[in-house]
Structure 1
Amino acid sequence: MEHELPLTLSRCPEMEGAEIDLDRGIVVIPKSHEGWLNDKQLINYRQHRVQFLSWLWNVGKDPESATGYSEYTVYGSAYRTARFDKWRWEHCGGYSMPPSEEEAQAFVEWLAYEYDQSETAKGKLQEGAMRYNKWLQHEKGYDEWEYDYKFDSSGGNHQPQDFLSREERQKIRQAVLTIGEVPSPGNVQGEEREGWLTHLGHLLNKPRDAIDDSDWEVVEGWKEPSLVSVSLDAGLRPAEVRKASTQWVDLQNGVLRIPKEDSSKNVGNWTVSLKDETTAYIERWLDERERYERYEDTDALWLTARGNRYGSKSLRRLLHRLCDEAGIETANRKMSWYTIRHSVGTYMAKERGLAAAKAQLRHRNPMTTMKYDQVPVEDRRDALDRMG
């Protein structure tokens, strides 16, 4: 049985003067939002907010069992998510709904280094953004948002998430070379088959009429090797994998050139260094990419087998698949695409300093890079051995 929201609730000081939905008794649009929205935006925003808050109340705690949050939690979430919305409009280009992963990431970075409040206060505001995302996942099919930081709303601190060790990075690089998506010969016909025969002949240095079914089996595709190798070099965020374009690639100079409008943080153009082997993988992938019909009308650098842009979930599945292939234990670890990014920051800072890590990871705020100013555990262990 669904809850009925109470008509009235005790009001905390932050809510004084806020607009109250008399039918529900929940703050929908705080008074502090006055002046930020025109009449049309106000109607649009109110519709989103009512849907979101009603979802929290009715099913938000456990959608599978249709269990909602308590009135106290919904009331607090209404206030905190409204604060998140106002911050987005101030810092991310004006009114928009619903919020995006990039905006949530920028908000959490702001909490980490510019919001002068307790860890608990930061954690509560992040918790509000996470509830927005939970609603968007359940109702609109969004991916789970990932963050550089996770604040403990009960008073913990913010630390970088887990990262891959040097050995694990090498294992991932090797594992991705064993997977690919060159189609089986029975799945392509006509002009598409002719194109693949030419492509395979080029890869194997064989005449196309000498290629048989066994040759199709030994050739691996270059999409995953290029995607993973670029991410291991550049520390791509999931949003950047999703936006990645063929226009970013500069093979001649071995770099990615990410324009401001495509940058996850939208703060400037970036030139990101790549290893020579990564450049070679991308070159081979760009040649192979032309063989797939799903790339005909898009400049997307990578698409899933179903022709969709990559998201956090599909990238997490790819990483876990690679970890299984490489024999990397994932139990009791938060293994997401950010795990790769954090390894780039950790070791770039160690090898070339924080300035190099800031440039490679495309950080807007130098303070963000400071979290990588730490010595990895294996190096600390070596230091203890040398200390006696």
Structure 2
Amino acid sequence: MSLNPEDFPLVTDKSREILKEKQATDYEAHRIEFVRWLIHLGKNPELAEGYGRDTIRATAYRTDQFARWVWTEQEDSYTVAFTHDHADAYMTELLYSDTTATHKANTQKALKRLFKWRANEKGDDLWEPERSFSNTSSDSGPREYLTIEERKKVREAALEYGSIPSYSNTHGDDLDKWKAVLAQRFGKPKEEITADDWERANSWKFTSMTWVSLDCGLRPIEVERAKVSWVDVENSVLRIPKEDSAKNDGNWVVALSDRTTDALERWMNEREQYEQYDDADELWLTREGNPYQTQSLRRLLVKLCDIAGIPTDNRQMSWYALRHSTGTAMTHERDLAAAKAQLRHKSEQTTMKYDNVPVEHRRDALERMG
């Protein structure tokens, strides 16, 4: 599908009435970039899969309406630097409007696409709405989700991922095979692979990164920003300062299990042996020395699910699945207040989507209540 300005509402007549000529020109360039992304990458950037024409048209109309609202009701001036606060305020506006549930839900989906584009192309954070709208009851809970049993399987898979047989117990053809594997992994000649490389292959990096994310519900941007200075092993917590917080609204102290604390301490000791971490405070880096980001984390989770025997076909699977499962499990085991604190939510409304205790659990509670 090609971009034909007549097919998609780039700058609507209502927007042109508000904007000056140069602002309209700038806004049109912004919109062209966004719509092209929707056409070619929007649905699945990893597979270069775009949306259909009708979805793109509807998204373009709804995001244009949002832009006009920001200009007239929020900023009193033109901007294309739309923020999460703008989007959350617009959702509040819709909440009290007379529009249908379907319109509210579809508008939220359109804004999610807008911020997904900004995350993929501009380096912004993904938007996690403070409140969710749905036009069907099946959409009331988080869509990317692991059950408690699946969480356990992923945790164990993180112990297995990347591991290889011990150096002392590998001989002959098997030794040569594993040297070839490590040569490819570390980007060095096979004849230069040593016992130290063998030890490095059995790293605690992926285990610690996965387990900390399972405990704390780390967003992808928080994995990317994670620093050694966050880690308080002695008290089994992460201390995330305001300036590093994804929502940037306060300092957070997030609990870690003893098992995760042990894995993280092992990784902290291990990372000191790698040159790429010299003079670096990043907690986890790829072998190229870059922070982990959304797509690399998604690939890791899919591999972990494969090891764990968890089907991922026809499921929305990203690193957020760990976060959503943490929220649901914490709500079931404790309460919404505990989930809100662990996930670092500003609003209880955001946490409410995890309060989806299964019917059988609620029935058991009624029996206990008498």
TM-score, normalization: structure 2?
0.71
Question: In the TM superposition, what whole-angstrom CA distance separates every residue of 1:130-171 from its partner, at most 9, and x where no partner exists?
Answer: 443575688x49799585787556897532224322222222
The within-5 A match list for 1:206-355 is 213=195, 216=198, 220-355=202-337
Question: In the TM superposition, what whole-angstrom CA distance separates every residue of 1:84-128 from its partner, at most 9, and x where no partner exists?
Answer: 457789889x9975668xx39x93697389733533122222232
Contact 1:163 1:343 in 2 (8 A): yes
Question: 1:273: how far off?
Answer: 0.6
Q: Which runs of no fewer than 5 residues in structure 1 stay unpaired?
A: 20-29, 197-211
The SS at the match of 1:257 is strand
Q: Work out whether 1:124 is the aligned partner of 2:92.
A: no
Question: 1:229: how far off?
Answer: 0.8
Partner of 2:169: none
Contact 2:8 2:56 in 1 (8 A): no
Contact 1:180 1:223 in 2 (8 A): no
Cα distance in structure 2, aligned partners of 1:294 and 1:219: 16
Contact 2:94 2:104 in 1 (8 A): no
Q: Work out whether 1:362 is the aligned partner of 2:344.
A: yes
Contact 1:179 1:221 in 2 (8 A): no
Partner of 1:69: 53
Partner of 1:111: 91
Cα distance in structure 2, aligned partners of 1:58 and 1:171: 35
Cα distance in structure 2, aligned partners of 1:354 and 1:65: 37
Cα distance in structure 2, aligned partners of 1:356 and 1:51: 41
Cα distance in structure 1, aligned partners of 2:8 and 2:81: 27
Cα distance in structure 2, aligned partners of 1:172 and 1:113: 40
Is the alpha carbon distance of 1:108 and 1:164 closer, same or farther for their aligned partners in structure 2, counting shifts above 3 Å? farther
Partner of 1:5: 5
Is the alpha carbon distance of 1:86 and 1:325 closer, same or farther for their aligned partners in structure 2, counting shifts above 3 Å? farther
Question: 1:61: how far off?
Answer: 8.7
Is the alpha carbon distance of 1:226 and 1:60 closer, same or farther for their aligned partners in structure 2, counting shifts above 3 Å? closer
Cα distance in structure 2, aligned partners of 1:352 and 1:155: 24
The SS at the match of 1:18 is helix
Cα distance in structure 2, aligned partners of 1:225 and 1:65: 31
The SS at the match of 1:333 is coil
Q: Which runs of no fewer than 5 residues in structure 2 stay unpaired?
A: 165-177
Bigger relative contact order, structure 1 or 2 (CA pairs below 8 A, ≥6 apart): 2
The SS at the match of 2:53 is coil
Contact 1:236 1:341 in 2 (8 A): yes
Partner of 1:18: 15
Is the alpha carbon distance of 1:235 and 1:266 closer, same or farther for their aligned partners in structure 2, counting shifts above 3 Å? same
Contact 2:119 2:126 in 1 (8 A): no
Cα distance in structure 1, aligned partners of 2:331 and 2:43: 40
Which one-letter code corresponds to 1:18 in the other structure?
A: S
Q: How many residues align?
A: 341
Cα distance in structure 1, aligned partners of 2:294 and 2:356: 27
The SS at the match of 2:316 is coil
Cα distance in structure 2, aligned partners of 1:357 and 1:113: 27
Cα distance in structure 2, aligned partners of 1:135 and 1:356: 32
Is the alpha carbon distance of 1:50 and 1:248 closer, same or farther for their aligned partners in structure 2, counting shifts above 3 Å? same
Cα distance in structure 2, aligned partners of 1:175 and 1:367: 33
Which one-letter code corresponds to 1:69 in the other structure?
A: R
Cα distance in structure 2, aligned partners of 1:66 and 1:232: 31
Q: Work out whether 1:173 is the aligned partner of 2:173.
A: no
Cα distance in structure 2, aligned partners of 1:245 and 1:314: 18
Question: In the TM superposition, what whole-angstrom CA distance separates every residue of 1:5-34 from its partner, at most 9, and x where no partner exists?
Answer: 34998x9xxx67431xxxxxxxxxx72x79
The within-5 A match list for 1:67-216 is 69=53, 74=57, 76-85=58-67, 103=84, 107=87, 111=91, 115-117=95-97, 118-132=100-114, 140=121, 157-180=139-162, 213=195, 216=198
Question: In the TM superposition, what whole-angstrom CA distance separates every residue of 1:241-276 from its partner, at most 9, and x where no partner exists?
Answer: 111111211122111111112111111111001111
The within-5 A match list for 1:40-55 is 45-53=27-35
Which one-letter code corresponds to 1:281 in the other structure?
A: A
Kindly report the root-mean-square deviation, in angstroms, between the aligned alpha carbons of the 2 structures: 4.8
Which one-letter code corresponds to 1:115 in the other structure?
A: L
Is the alpha carbon distance of 1:151 and 1:378 closer, same or farther for their aligned partners in structure 2, counting shifts above 3 Å? same
Cα distance in structure 1, aligned partners of 2:155 and 2:223: 17
The SS at the match of 1:348 is helix
Question: 1:292: how far off?
Answer: 2.6
Cα distance in structure 2, aligned partners of 1:229 and 1:159: 23
Once structures 1 and 2 are overlaid, which stretch shifts more, 308-317 or 122-131?
122-131
Question: 1:301: how far off?
Answer: 1.2
Question: In the TM superposition, what whole-angstrom CA distance separates every residue of 1:42-99 from its partner, at most 9, and x where no partner exists?
Answer: 87555323433466689979997999736x953x43442245457789889x997566
Question: 1:327: how far off?
Answer: 1.8
Cα distance in structure 2, aligned partners of 1:171 and 1:67: 34
Contact 1:60 1:69 in 2 (8 A): no
Question: 1:224: how far off?
Answer: 0.8
Question: In the TM superposition, what whole-angstrom CA distance separates every residue of 1:297-327 from its partner, at most 9, and x where no partner exists?
Answer: 5322112233222222222221121111112
